[in-house]
């Protein structure tokens, strides 16, 4: 597979979409949709073909800035391929979900979506630390534009906060990256940002701890975890639907991916020592996110806080340092991508119809839009952790893994599932169940366009839930690198 | 000394001085704006080209009397300054045509200032330092106050002149004291006769005065008060020239001074400069937060940027090659993005009575004037140091330099400063993306020369940010050839 070509495809499609605006208003949508579909089909084919002998699906390297030993090294292993597939699929979902929502400057809108996704594909496949940081930032700017231009009432504040949190933590990571490179240079006399070479850097434990923190902070900000989560509810709530879908579905996963790919492998000992903080933060995120979700009256904000809780499970899983925990974390990433994308799409659809996100102004919507009600029910139950659906597998594996590490923290994390049931059902109750709110105007139910997307996401969740072996199998290659023998 | 080689190496100076005379005579014969402008452009391009010719004769560097040492690095800075002058001239044409009464002499001043700035990278002696500095400054007083009927520029020009003259006196007095302590005016022989810098009152006091003046010229805190007023008052295009060529020139000569005189071996002086850098990064960024005028905002941000650049200055003292490389790349990036920003203000202000530089003036600019606005977006992102732009490569160099020199405090402040910087740079971008009121009118007005010039700068910012290898390799080669 040629990842550079895939990134190039998305970047070019962005430019084409932008300039196609002048021919027809909805042409940019089609350009974006078709490119995401092509990319998704491409990845499915790559997946079916299986990996090469080295266990990778793609491995490319070109010189970029030889002065600093920086190269364009793109490599795709099982974990990356899965996440890239999720990216392109959710890209298509995002495009469809905002088909009618944005009325102004469609071209630039789709341009930004395509470029965010190109950046994300880069993040998931970069094996050069400079390149990784480069893509890390590339996905930030279009996302900023998506929130700042097409966001809701409080977009200025939300977009600024989003940018600041990501950028500051990113700069810490950059310092850590450059410092790591210089430590390597001091020992070996070669300046290089190549991941494989830097893996072999011998670090003092104190230096390793500091550098690990630089990466860790950047990644848990993106994840996000308490205490650096505060940008998320604002950004999610204010972003347009497509923006929320991308943020929750994909961008949060880059943080988790970074933890797995870089923090643990580059600083194995320092990370092992750090487990109690990692896991502790995860547990706090689960409980705090759940508690905050329950107390929201805004549909979208509730879903946003529930993301914090779900990502807490990922953190707990990663810092259990065993096969079950890490596999559980990865399954949670995928399943959460499906379920939350759907819920944000639902929030967007409701806002488009009712012009509000307040649940107090909803109630009894099921009667008026039964298809929407059923779909919401499905995804709420998935998100609560119903056996047979993807989220259950993920969270269950995480808890199994964490149990081997620490019983108390596992018990606390398990409480999070109870809390999830409470806020999930309360969301359902307040919006779709109960007495129909007389103030609600007539509303259109989901039509073919929306239902088709929802069905795709449902199939995804059921697939991961019933036969998780496909996802688990893809993680085989990464586990030994994490010091975990499968 | 080989006379022919010397002449060849000084070719850029000769060409530029000759061109300056031609333009002057041309104006005497007949006042035509376009002809004066064309002659200026030809002169500048010829000067740029003459660097290629002279480079053959350069070798490791040629010393012309004790005042001047021309080498690859000085050529590199020369080229940078001349390029900046070319951009200035191109963007200025429409402005000069529209707003000024006496048009032709503007270019004369521009050429003179450029000539002064070319002296600075090659200066190795207090005399040449002062000469270059004053040629630049005096031309700039006139350029700032050039629209003589308008209050703002006049006030700014007066302010700039008085304060600048004061700072020059301070530098002069400092030089005298240093001379008293060391018995020489050549950079390489400035070590105090008494042997130790710490005990030598003349030497230390001399540096207090010297660095105060230099800090003024670079607008470092606490000598920065003039900056926002002059930046705001001067015509935007002149502000762009001050921000780039004038400051760049001063910085280069200071670098050579630090490298050859080994002044940072004195702990006290090094610490004072360290403090100035640290405060500049913080204060510049914090004050920029308060601004609603783009030019004032850029003024404060330039204070911070000069503070960042001091990291390279410290590295010059210990590892000249990396220090110079960092400074050249950083300045090249800074030049491109700063000129782009001020160029955009000039371009969008065409046809209006006053300059459109407040944050309210650029509301929805992205939809009204897409090309200049897109350039300003790129420039702001670049100044903030976001990847894909030259500003990121420049900042990356500083990170690398700071970590190489183990200046952890300054690197930490650089991170902090960049974080604060995002606030106000993003505010510019956010204002431009705001939905315009009323009907959309996205027709590009104004001169195509100006618009295409800023567009080229914007594209250059992106291109160098995505693929900096040619620039980086070129700079590295020249720095090595010059024997650092």
Encode pLDDT of B275-296 as tens digits: 999 999 999 999 999 888 999 9
- Where does residue A10 fall: left (phi above 0), alpha (psi -120 to 50 degrees), or beta otherwise? alpha
| First-last CA distance in chain A | 27
With contacts defined as CB-CB under 8 Å, which chain B residues touch A149? 433
Q: Cβ contact (<8 Å) for B473 and A66?
A: yes
Which chain A residues in 87-116 lie under 8 Å from chain B, judged by CB atoms? 104-105
Contacts (Cβ under 8 Å, ≥6 apart) of A389: A335, A339, A381, A382, A461, A462, A464, A465
Which chain A residues in 157-176 lie under 8 Å from chain B, judged by CB atoms? 159-160, 163-164, 167-168, 171-172, 174-175
Report how far Cα B353 is from the mean position of its chain's Cα atoms: 28
DSSP code of residue A261: I
Digitized pLDDT (tens) for each residue of chain B, 484 residues in all: 578 888 888 999 999 999 999 999 999 998 899 999 999 999 999 999 999 888 888 878 888 888 899 988 999 999 999 999 999 999 999 888 888 888 889 999 999 999 999 999 999 999 999 999 999 999 999 999 988 888 889 999 999 999 999 999 999 999 999 999 888 888 888 888 777 777 788 889 999 999 999 999 999 989 999 999 999 999 999 999 999 999 999 999 999 999 988 888 888 899 999 999 999 999 999 999 988 899 999 999 999 999 999 999 999 888 888 899 999 999 999 999 999 999 999 988 887 778 888 888 888 888 888 889 999 999 999 999 888 899 999 999 998 899 888 888 999 999 899 988 988 998 898 888 887 665 555 555 667 888 899 999 999 999 999 999 999 999 998 888 887 7
- Among the partner residues A137, A149, A178, nearest to B400 by beta-carbon distance: A178
**Residue corresponding to tokens 């009927």:** B149
Name the residue of chain A whose CA is nearest to B364's CA: A149
Question: What pLDDT is stored for residue B439 in this prediction?
Answer: 53
> Angle at Cα B255 formed by Cα B254 and Cα B261, nearest 5°?
85
The low-confidence residues of chain A, meaning pLDDT below 50, are none
How far apart CA B453 and CA A375 sit, in angstroms, is 54
Give the count of Cβ contacts less than 8 A between chain A and B.
Answer: 71
Q: Cβ contact (<8 Å) for A168 and B411?
A: no
How far apart CA A154 and CA A160 sit, in angstroms, is 10
Please check whether residue B267 touches A, CB under 8 A.
no
Question: What pLDDT is stored for residue A486 in this prediction?
Answer: 52
Q: Cβ contact (<8 Å) for A175 and B415?
A: yes
How far apart CA A136 and CA B425 sit, in angstroms, is 19
pLDDT in tens, A10-49: 999 999 998 888 888 888 889 999 999 999 999 999 888 8
H or E segment and range at residue A71: strand A70-76
Domain boundaries, chain A: 3-482
Q: Which among B105, B341, B122 is positioned nearest to B244, based on CA atoms?
A: B341
Helix (H, G, I), strand (E, B) or coil at A434: coil
CA dist list (Å): B296 to A35, B87, B142, B302: 44, 22, 21, 10
Phi/psi for A76 (5° steps) reads -125, 115
Which tokens go with B479? 């720095």
Q: Which among A460, A166, A213, A466 is positioned nearest to A340, based on CA atoms?
A: A460
Q: How far is B60 from chain A (nearest CA, A)?
A: 22
**Residue corresponding to tokens 């894909």:** B388
- The complex's ipTM? 0.86
Question: What pLDDT is stored for residue B442 in this prediction?
Answer: 53
Burial of residue A52, with CB atoms counted within 10 A of its CB: 0-12 exposed, 13-18 middle, 19 or more buried: exposed
Please check whether residue B415 touches A, CB under 8 A.
yes
How far apart CA B129 and CA B17 sit, in angstroms, is 18
Question: What pLDDT is stored for residue A204 in this prediction?
Answer: 86
| First-last CA distance in chain B | 22
DSSP code of residue A73: E
How far apart CA B90 and CA B335 sit, in angstroms, is 15
Q: What count of other Cβ atoms lies within 10 Å of the Cβ of residue B201? A: 12
* Interface with chain A: mutation pick from B311, B359, B391, B430, highest number of A CBs within 10 Å: B430
Concatenating the DSSP letter of every residue in B326-381 gives HHHHHHHHHHHHHHHHHHHHHHHTTTSSS---BTTTTTTHHHHSHHHHHHHHHHHH
Phi/psi for A433 (5° steps) reads -95, -170
With contacts defined as CB-CB under 8 Å, which chain A residues touch B396? 174, 178
Q: Which among A402, A390, A416, A405 is positioned nearest to A472, based on CA atoms?
A: A390
Q: Cβ contact (<8 Å) for A175 and B399?
A: yes
Contacts (Cβ under 8 Å, ≥6 apart) of A207: A179, A183
Please check whether residue B433 touches A, CB under 8 A.
yes
How far apart CA B272 and CA B252 sit, in angstroms, is 19
pLDDT in tens, A250-285: 999 999 999 999 998 899 888 888 889 999 999 999
How far apart CA B415 and CA A103 sit, in angstroms, is 39
Question: What pLDDT is stored for residue B440 in this prediction?
Answer: 53
Please check whether residue A441 touches B, CB under 8 A.
no
Phi/psi for B293 (5° steps) reads -105, 130
Q: Cβ contact (<8 Å) for B426 and A178?
A: no
């Amino acid at each position: 597979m040629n990842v550079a070509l895939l990134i190039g495809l998305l970047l070019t499609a962005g430019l084409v979409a932008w300039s196609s605006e002048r021919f027809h208003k909805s042409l940019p949508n089609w350009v974006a949709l078709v490119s995401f579909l092509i990319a998704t089909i491409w990845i499915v084919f790559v997946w079916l073909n299986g990996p090469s002998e080295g266990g990778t699906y793609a491995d490319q390297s070109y010189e970029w800035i030889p002065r600093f030993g920086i190269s364009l090294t793109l490599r795709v292993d099982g974990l990356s391929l899965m996440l890239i597939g999720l990216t392109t699929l959710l890209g298509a979902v995002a495009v469809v979900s905002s088909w009618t929502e944005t009325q102004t400057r469609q071209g630039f809108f789709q341009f930004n979506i395509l470029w965010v996704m190109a950046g994300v594909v880069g993040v998931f496949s970069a094996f050069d630390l400079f390149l990784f940081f480069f893509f890390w930032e590339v996905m930030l700017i279009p996302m900023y534009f998506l929130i700042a231009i097409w966001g809701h009432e409080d977009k200025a504040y939300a977009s600024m906060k989003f940018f600041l949190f990501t950028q500051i933590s990113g700069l810490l990571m950059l310092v850590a990256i450059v410092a790591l490179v210089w430590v390597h240079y001091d020992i070996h006399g070669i300046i290089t940002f190549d991941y494989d070479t830097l893996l072999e850097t011998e670090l003092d434990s104190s230096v390793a701890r500091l550098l690990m923190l630089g990466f860790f902070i950047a990644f848990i900000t993106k994840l996000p975890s308490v205490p650096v989560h505060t940008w998320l509810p604002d950004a999610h709530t204010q972003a347009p639907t497509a923006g929320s879908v991308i943020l929750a579905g994909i961008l949060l996963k880059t943080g988790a991916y970074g933890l797995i790919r870089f923090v643990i492998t580059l600083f194995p000992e320092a990370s092992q020592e750090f487990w109690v903080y990692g896991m502790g933060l995860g547990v706090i995120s689960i409980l705090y996110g759940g508690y905050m979700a329950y107390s929201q009256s805004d549909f979208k904000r509730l879903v946003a806080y529930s993301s914090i809780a779900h990502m807490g499970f990922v953190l707990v899983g990663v810092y259990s340092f065993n096969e079950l925990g890490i596999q559980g974390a990865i399954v949670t990433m995928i399943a959460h991508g499906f379920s939350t994308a759907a819920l944000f799409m639902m929030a967007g659809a409701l806002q488009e119809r009712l012009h509000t996100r307040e649940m107090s102004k909803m109630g009894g919507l099921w009667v008026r839009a039964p298809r929407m009600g059923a779909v919401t029910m499905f995804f709420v139950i998935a998100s609560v952790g119903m056996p047979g659906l993807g989220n259950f597998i993920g969270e269950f594996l995480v808890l199994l893994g964490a149990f081997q590490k620490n019983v108390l923290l596992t018990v606390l994390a398990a409480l999070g599932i109870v809390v999830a049931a409470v806020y999930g059902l309360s969301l359902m109750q307040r919006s779709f169940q109960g007495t129909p709110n007389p103030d609600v105007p007539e509303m259109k139910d989901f039509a073919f366009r929306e239902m088709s997307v929802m069905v795709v996401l449902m199939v995804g969740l059921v697939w991961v839930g019933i036969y998780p072996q496909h996802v688990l199998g893809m993680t085989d290659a990464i586990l030994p690198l994490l010091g975990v023998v499968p | 000394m080989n006379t022919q080689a010397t002449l060849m190496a000084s070719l850029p100076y000769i060409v530029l001085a000759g061109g300056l005379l031609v333009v002057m005579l041309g104006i005497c014969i007949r006042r035509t704006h376009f002809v004066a402008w064309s002659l200026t452009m030809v002169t500048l391009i010829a000067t740029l080209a003459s660097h290629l010719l002279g480079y053959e004769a350069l070798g490791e560097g040629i010393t012309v009397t004790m005042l001047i040492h021309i080498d690859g690095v000085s050529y590199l800075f020369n080229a940078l300054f001349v390029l900046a002058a070319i951009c200035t001239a191109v963007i200025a044409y429409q402005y000069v045509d529209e707003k000024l009464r006496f048009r032709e002499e503007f270019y004369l001043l521009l050429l003179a200032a450029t000539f002064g700035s070319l002296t600075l990278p090659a200066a190795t002696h207090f005399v040449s330092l002062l000469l270059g500095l004053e040629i630049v400054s005096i031309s700039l007083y006139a350029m700032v106050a050039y629209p003589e009927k308008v209050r703002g520029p006049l006030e700014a020009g007066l302010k700039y002149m008085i304060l600048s003259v004061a700072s020059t006196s301070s530098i002069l007095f400092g030089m005298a004291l240093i001379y008293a302590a060391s018995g020489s005016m050549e950079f390489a022989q400035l070590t105090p006769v008494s042997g130790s810098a710490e005990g030598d009152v003349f030497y230390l006091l001399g540096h207090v005065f010297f660095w105060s003046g230099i800090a003024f010229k670079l607008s470092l805190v606490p000598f920065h008060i003039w900056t926002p007023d002059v930046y705001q008052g001067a015509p935007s295009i002149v502000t762009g020239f001050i921000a780039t060529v004038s400051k760049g020139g001063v910085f280069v000569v200071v670098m050579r001074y630090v490298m050859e005189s080994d002044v940072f071996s004195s702990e006290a002086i090094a610490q004072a400069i360290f403090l100035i850098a640290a405060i500049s990064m913080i204060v510049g960024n914090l004050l920029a937060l308060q601004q609603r005028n783009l030019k004032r905002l850029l003024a404060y941000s330039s204070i911070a940027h000069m503070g960042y650049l001091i990291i390279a200055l410290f590295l010059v003292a210990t590892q000249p090659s990396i220090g110079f490389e960092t400074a050249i790349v950083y300045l090249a990036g800074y030049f491109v993005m700063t000129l782009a920003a001020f160029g955009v203000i000039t371009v969008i202000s065409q046809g209006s009575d006053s300059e459109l530089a407040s944050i309210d003036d650029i509301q929805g600019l992205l939809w009204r004037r897409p090309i200049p606005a897109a350039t300003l977006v790129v420039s702001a992102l670049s100044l903030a140091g976001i990847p894909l732009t030259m500003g990121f490569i420049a900042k990356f160099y500083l990170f690398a330099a700071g970590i190489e020199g183990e200046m952890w405090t300054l690197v930490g402040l650089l991170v902090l400063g960049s974080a604060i910087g995002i606030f106000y740079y993003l505010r510019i971008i956010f204002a431009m993306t705001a939905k315009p009121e009323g009907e959309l009118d996205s027709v590009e007005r104004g001169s195509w020369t100006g618009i295409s010039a800023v567009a080229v700068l914007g594209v250059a910012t992106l291109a160098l940010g995505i693929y900096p290898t040619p620039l980086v390799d070129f700079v590295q080669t020249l720095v090595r050839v010059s024997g650092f």
